[in-house]
């Protein structure tokens, strides 16, 4: 285990986490992958603009901070497998929502199915329900990481 030097003095960015996480979810979460994925999503989505906020499965797989945190000594599973486990547990619990969208370029080329993850909020449920029937979305509607996402 690497020692922690402590929190620095001065202004430190914070991540808002709803009280219900501590009173309802945290007491029920038993798997460390689910806990780490859920907390990491609070951090990731707090950095995004707009509403609702979501993150793609591809962005999660490319997140070196998240994957480093999911490595466990003595665990034969890869961080990517633990990420998938954490996501599936959070989805089963109802913490997260997931939608699969087929993204194509403007010329209907290079279709790709992308998973998008949302926290389970009334606004996110509405958006997921509205998008559920969508077969194809132009890539320009769902922008790259760090930009606002529909």
Q: Which domains does the chain have, with CATH numbers?
A: 31-141 (1.10.10)
What's the pLDDT at 146?
A: 42
Confidence check: pLDDT of 116 > 90? yes
pTM: 0.83
Q: What is the pLDDT of residue 144?
A: 45
Please report which residue ranges of 26-148 form alpha helices under DSSP H. 32-46, 57-61, 64-70, 79-93, 122-132
pLDDT at 50 over 70: yes
- Check pLDDT > 50 for residue 14: yes
- pLDDT exceeds 80 at position 98: yes
**150 has pLDDT over 50:** no
Chain segment 31-48, per-residue pLDDT in tens: 999 999 999 999 999 999
CB–CB of 150/126 below 8 Å?
no
Q: What is the pLDDT, as a whole number, of residue 131? A: 85
Structure confidence at residue 36 (pLDDT):
98
How far apart are the C-alpha atoms of 117 and 105, rounded to whole Å? 21
């Amino acid at each position: 285990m690497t020692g922690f030097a402590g929190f620095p003095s001065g202004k430190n960015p914070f991540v808002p986490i709803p009280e219900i996480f501590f009173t309802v979810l945290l007491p029920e979460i038993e798997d460390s992958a689910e806990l780490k994925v859920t907390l990491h999503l609070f951090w990731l989505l707090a950095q995004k603009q707009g509403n609702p906020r979501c993150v793609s499965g591809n962005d999660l797989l490319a997140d070196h901070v998240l994957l480093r945190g999911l490595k466990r000594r003595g665990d034969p599973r890869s961080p990517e497998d633990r990420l998938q486990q954490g996501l599936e547990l959070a989805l089963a619990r109802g913490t997260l929502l997931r939608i699969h969208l087929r993204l194509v370029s403007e010329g209907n080329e290079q279709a790709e199915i992308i998973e998008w993850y949302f926290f389970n909020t009334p606004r996110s449920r509405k958006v997921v329900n509205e998008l559920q029937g969508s077969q194809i979305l132009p890539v320009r509607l769902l922008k790259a990481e760090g930009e606002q996402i529909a």
